[in-house]
A and B are shown apart, each in its own frame.
Chain A
Amino acid sequence: MIQLRNIEKSYPLASGRTYVLRRINLDIREGEFLTIMGPSGAGKSTLLSILGMLDGEFDGSYSFDGVEIHGLKPKERLKLGRLYVGFVFQSYHLLDDLTVYENLDVPLSYRNVPRSERASLVADVLDRFNIVAKKDLFPSQLSGGQQQLVAVARAVIANPKLILADEPTGNLHTSQGKEIMDLFKRLNEEGTTIVQVTHNEAWAAYGERIIQLVDGWMEKEVEKLEAGS
């Protein structure tokens, strides 16, 4: 589904350029669960941004389902990203002024989904994630785990092909983290491709494959670990 070839990302500095990503070559299959690990500043989030089509300022080639992303204009790139990619962030990033229901409704309204269809999709997701009772609450009235649950629900509501999760359990207790990771696993089993960034070895093991980034370079790739449970 995804092919990255010689991806490089750099910023100009007075003394030359500073590189965040160096010659990244990576293939991600449809339905795969990939984990990206590495120390702070290794370029994990940058790679995620490029994969999510939020960042188009890179060298190299990026192909998504046969579409050459690196050749697209920003507007087209963002549009494609909206269509195929869902995000889950470490700090949940729910919209504070909106209720749970509205947080789930917003991505659909941004995609011009008709109102009646939105209502049924939101109802379905609320049910699927078992948060019907929370639908009228604001994010501040939820626990961290519940907020991340809503964030994951929001990421999947538009039925994306790819979910990018940037340290989704970073702010959660272990038990809450496990619930979220189990949820990812389930989604993956249902066919969604997932790429997660994590520092946690146990959560990393949920992935079928782990890649390590160090100072922007892809250091090693570990295939098919036993999924933690």
Chain B
Amino acid sequence: MVRSCLQDLRHGLRTLRRNPGFALITVLTLAIGIGANTVVFSVLDQVLLRMLPVKEPERLVFLSPSRFFPGANIGDHCISYPAYRELRDRNDVFEGLLCRFHFQAGLGCQGRTERTEAVLVSGNYFPLLGVKAALGRTITPEDDRNPGAHPAAVISYAFWQKRFGSDPQIVGRTINLNGRQLTVVGVAEPRFDGVELGVSPAVWVPVMMTEQMVPFLRRFITLEAPATGWVQVFGRLKPGVDRKQAEARLAPLYHSILAETIPAAVNRRDEFLKSTLDILPGQRGISLLRRMMTTPLWALMAMVAIVLLIACVNVAGLMIGRGVRRRGELALRMAIGAGRRRLVRQLLSESLMLALLGGGAGILMAGALSPVLVRSIPVQESTLSLSTALDWRVLGFCLLISLGAAVGAGLIPALCTTQLELVPALKHQASAVVSRARLRRVLLVGQVALSLLLLTGALLLVRSFSNLAGLDAGIRSSGVVSFSVDPTLNGYPRKQVDATYHRLKEQLENAPGLESVALGMVPVLGGSVMDSAVVAEGYQPKENEQSATHVNVISEDFFRTLGIHTLEGRDFRSTDSGDAPLVGIINESFAHHFFGKNSPLGRHVGLSNDPAQANIEVVGVVADSKYEGLRESMPRQLYVPFQQSTTLFGMTGYVRSSLPSAQVATIIRRVVQAVDPALPVSSLRTLDDQRARSLATERLLASLAGLFAVLATLLAALGLYGLLSYSVASRRAEIGLRMALGARISGVIWLVLREVLLLCAVGIATALPVMLVLGRLIESQLYGVAPRDPWMMGGAMLLMLLVSVLSGVVPARRAARVDPMQALREE
């Protein structure tokens, strides 16, 4: 059996060598389909499918409050540390529960400070995950004893290589993290990158060091705060316990823990007592990136699957055509003893070889394109941990789809081709040809329909992207360069932080060529949000009304620098200091919502649910502008001066200038260095670039959908061209006869084009109902265009029709040039 398979392969290879044109076109066609699938899968696998590189990941679960932790929340899916501690010590369903808190840190070492990612972790974090140290030791339960008494750090393998040049003497050295000295006790094993996809922490620190590591959050985060959710909790289920059982058994325990830990005086205590925990799968870790990219990645996967399907259909069409030409050979093989199964196997072995060659070429293509796709994934550049290398999983996937393509493209042609009337086939009679041509037509209709689906999807996504890109964000972004600094990460006290920001703004304003300078805590269009409950003087909220409003903490000149118009009142002044009465500026939407048509100037608002806390005087009203991203509708916003804000972290600086952006960037770096040499600058880019980055997902989807649609349409056009060429060649005598009988050239051309138009029309009719249904799947990715937009659908159909007609032009011309006498003589 093996030998005869090898014999089939050898004969198949020889046959293909004799038909290099056919082999080349087939391999390239399959390479496009397989390569596109491989490249998208390489990212999809990492983001959505791959398990954490830890011990028995399938038993890991993630504990998340069912809706949200009712108190203050620092991060998503968090609970309080006391609740975690009690759950860890009193449950009977987990082998262990670990907690973590991810934060940004200023890391100083060897006289250099840089911004990096760090994670506070419980002492059982590494042992429970089964992650070992490559050097030294990991953090252990011994580091969980006393708050503030465990200044230890485990650094990541990648950071050890990059920053310390794999120094074997690293254990025992000290690093400075957010202004605190920590001793490096170990290096984590190489493949471990934490439990949050897209975030590659450089340092892990015991959670006992929370107050020392994030002093600027001391107001919210402490190990004893019962009503602030800030730790994310993972657990390892005991053998034999499933998620549902764990959830049921944890519910009463969680309730009693909250009843014990939430003091009676805490606002909305009853909501705490009603809250529950969900036990979610944890084997793939957690990821904001995953939440953001799930739909786009599956949409892309569906698109490339369609491209591969079209490629297979195309190859199947070519193989059927080739099968017709080979029917004499196949009939002969049957006549000398080959069974049909044997012939099918031989033909399949040929398509297998083609698919494997296509897979090989596809891998080369994927290797080149994978880095491009990964670069297009919208994550913060410093935390990107997606690999561009094609590992064994991706190669395995590629092999699998190659085998699928071999069967998909080869089986139907093999079955059809071997269904022979032996005698006519041996005599090279054409009786078998008609049914094969019909099958090719059916396949082509499928190709046209699939291409049309992709074309429509691509047009919708491109239109959606263009709607977003052309949107007025209420901000004049051109000529503005933005950057981030965070003196709080250096452990500075508040006064020093304020002074640093003042000096920075002042010195930038004095730099030649810079028109205006401003600072804001929440970067505009950066995907970040700072929300707060808001009360307004004289406003009676409706029942169940969500009063959450976007807040930004800013400096003077913020509106001038960003080109946001002041409609009423004034900007902040230097006199709006911490000692002065609290002031705020609101936007139009805020004013309209809370004050209606009355002027809000002089009225009071407050960052609280309590009307008695409305202590901020409205001193100005500005035009609406986008805050988190371009997709959102104009949000209500409240701006407060940073000097008066009780909360202050890193700031984003904005500089307006007519100088080239590179020159402005140099000035910014120089000034920051002069203000504080230990202050790293990050995210230095133009605001236009930031705006473009906020649409990275949409751009990625639109451009790839466009690319795949073009590929699919080209493949369909090639298929149509092939069929029509074949059709014209086999109808030469008929065409010759028609011409001999007086048919005009236009009539002959119409004879060919009529066929292509008919195929296209049937393809469109087939695709139409599917288009109407599938449109809903990408609805969430669309902006300003309906999934059933008649213009987009009509445009796609027209485009398909045009491409189809173009693919018929050459065969039609060939038909028109048939010499009647010669064609009839050949017959």
Q: What is the distance, in angstroms, from A182's C-beta to the closest C-beta of chain B?
A: 23
Give a binary string over B412-442; 1 marks a CB under 8 Å from any A CB, 0 the rest. Answer: 0000000000110011000000000000000
CA distance A109 to B18 in the complex (A): 23
Q: Decide yes or no whether A115 CB sits under 8 A from chain B.
A: yes
The answer to whether A95 touches B339, judged by C-beta atoms less than 8 angstroms apart, is no
Residues of B within 8 A of A46 (CB): 423
CA distance A98 to B333 in the complex (A): 12
Residues of A within 8 A of B426 (CB): 89, 93
CA distance A158 to B18 in the complex (A): 29
The answer to whether B14 touches A49, judged by C-beta atoms less than 8 angstroms apart, is no
Residues of B within 8 A of A79 (CB): 339
- Highest count of chain A CB atoms <10 Å: which of B329, B332, B335, B422: B335
The answer to whether B333 touches A95, judged by C-beta atoms less than 8 angstroms apart, is yes
CA distance A155 to B335 in the complex (A): 10
Residues of B within 8 A of A49 (CB): 422-423
Residues of B within 8 A of A89 (CB): 332, 426
Residues of B within 8 A of A95 (CB): 329, 332-333
Which B residues between 309 and 357 are near A, CB-CB below 8 angstroms? 328-329, 332-339, 342
The answer to whether B18 touches A97, judged by C-beta atoms less than 8 angstroms apart, is yes
The interface size of chain B toward A, counting residues with CB under 8 Å, comes to 22
Q: Decide yes or no whether A55 CB sits under 8 A from chain B.
A: yes
The answer to whether B423 touches A54, judged by C-beta atoms less than 8 angstroms apart, is yes
Residues of B within 8 A of A111 (CB): 337
CA distance A110 to B15 in the complex (A): 18
Q: Given A45-B427, A46-B423, A109-B4, A54 and B335 touching (CB < 8 A)?
A: yes
Q: Decide yes or no whether A107 CB sits under 8 A from chain B.
A: yes
Which A residues between 47 and 64 are near B, CB-CB below 8 angstroms? 49, 52, 54-55
A110 CB contact (under 8 Å) in B11, B14, B333, B423: B333
CA distance A78 to B328 in the complex (A): 17
CA distance A166 to B422 in the complex (A): 14
Residues of B within 8 A of A78 (CB): 334, 339
Q: Decide yes or no whether B7 CB sits under 8 A from chain A.
A: yes
Give the residue name and chain of the A residue nearest to B3 (CB): A115
The answer to whether B422 touches A106, judged by C-beta atoms less than 8 angstroms apart, is no
B336 CB contact (under 8 Å) in A45, A96, A154: A154
CA distance A111 to B336 in the complex (A): 10
The answer to whether B337 touches A110, judged by C-beta atoms less than 8 angstroms apart, is yes
Which size class do A's interface residues fall under? Answer: 20 to 34
- Highest count of chain A CB atoms <10 Å: which of B3, B11, B336: B336
Residues of A within 8 A of B18 (CB): 97
Give a binary string over A96-115; 1 marks a CB under 8 Å from any B CB, 0 the rest. Answer: 11100010001101110001
Residues of B within 8 A of A52 (CB): 335
The answer to whether A54 touches B14, judged by C-beta atoms less than 8 angstroms apart, is no
Residues of A within 8 A of B422 (CB): 49, 54-55
The answer to whether A87 touches B335, judged by C-beta atoms less than 8 angstroms apart, is yes
Give the residue name and chain of the A residue nearest to B10 (CB): A102
The answer to whether B335 touches A110, judged by C-beta atoms less than 8 angstroms apart, is no
Q: What is the distance, in angstroms, from B428's C-beta to the closest C-beta of chain A?
A: 9
Residues of A within 8 A of B14 (CB): 97-98
Give a binary string over A109-135; 1 marks a CB under 8 Å from any B CB, 0 the rest. Answer: 111000100000000000000000000
A82 CB contact (under 8 Å) in B7, B328, B337: B337
The answer to whether B3 touches A110, judged by C-beta atoms less than 8 angstroms apart, is no
- Highest count of chain A CB atoms <10 Å: which of B3, B7, B342, B426: B426
CA distance A97 to B12 in the complex (A): 9
CA distance A99 to B402 in the complex (A): 31
Give a binary string over A65-79; 1 marks a CB under 8 Å from any B CB, 0 the rest. Answer: 000000000000011
CA distance A107 to B332 in the complex (A): 10
Which A residues between 141 and 168 are near B, CB-CB below 8 angstroms? 154-155, 158
Residues of A within 8 A of B338 (CB): 106, 110
CA distance A95 to B346 in the complex (A): 14
CA distance A54 to B335 in the complex (A): 7
Give the residue name and chain of the A residue nearest to B336 (CB): A107
CA distance A78 to B332 in the complex (A): 13
Give the residue name and chain of the B residue nearest to A55 (CB): B423
CA distance A21 to B824 in the complex (A): 31
CA distance A55 to B274 in the complex (A): 81
CA distance A111 to B338 in the complex (A): 8
B11 CB contact (under 8 Å) in A45, A93, A98: A98
The answer to whether A158 touches B329, judged by C-beta atoms less than 8 angstroms apart, is no
CA distance A159 to B391 in the complex (A): 54
The answer to whether B336 touches A110, judged by C-beta atoms less than 8 angstroms apart, is yes
Give the residue name and chain of the A residue nearest to B335 (CB): A87
CA distance A115 to B7 in the complex (A): 11
Residues of B within 8 A of A102 (CB): 11
Q: What is the distance, in angstroms, from B7's C-beta to the closest C-beta of chain A?
A: 6
Q: What is the distance, in angstroms, from A97's C-beta to the closest C-beta of chain B?
A: 5
- Highest count of chain B CB atoms <10 Å: which of A86, A98, A106: A106
Q: What is the distance, in angstroms, from B422's C-beta to the closest C-beta of chain A?
A: 4
Residues of A within 8 A of B335 (CB): 52, 54, 87, 93
Q: Given A55-B423, A93-B426, A97-B11, A110 and B332 touching (CB < 8 A)?
A: no
CA distance A96 to B19 in the complex (A): 13
CA distance A176 to B165 in the complex (A): 83
CA distance A158 to B11 in the complex (A): 21
Residues of B within 8 A of A45 (CB): 423, 427
CA distance A49 to B335 in the complex (A): 10
Give the residue name and chain of the A residue nearest to B332 (CB): A93
23 contacts between A and B (CB under 8 A): A45-B423, A49-B423, A55-B423, A78-B334, A78-B339, A86-B336, A87-B335, A93-B328, A93-B426, A95-B329, A96-B329, A97-B11, A102-B11, A106-B336, A107-B336, A109-B7, A110-B333, A110-B336, A110-B337, A110-B338, A110-B339, A110-B342, A111-B337
Given contacts A54-B335, A89-B426, A96-B329, 7 further A-B contacts (CB under 8 A): A45-B427, A49-B422, A54-B423, A82-B339, A89-B332, A98-B14, A155-B336
Chain A residues close to B by CB (< 8 Å): 45-46, 49, 52, 54-55, 78-79, 82, 86-87, 89, 93, 95-98, 102, 106-107, 109-111, 115, 154-155, 158
**Shortest beta-carbon contacts, A-B, top 10:** A110-B337, A82-B337, A107-B336, A110-B338, A54-B422, A107-B337, A49-B423, A93-B332, A97-B14, A87-B335
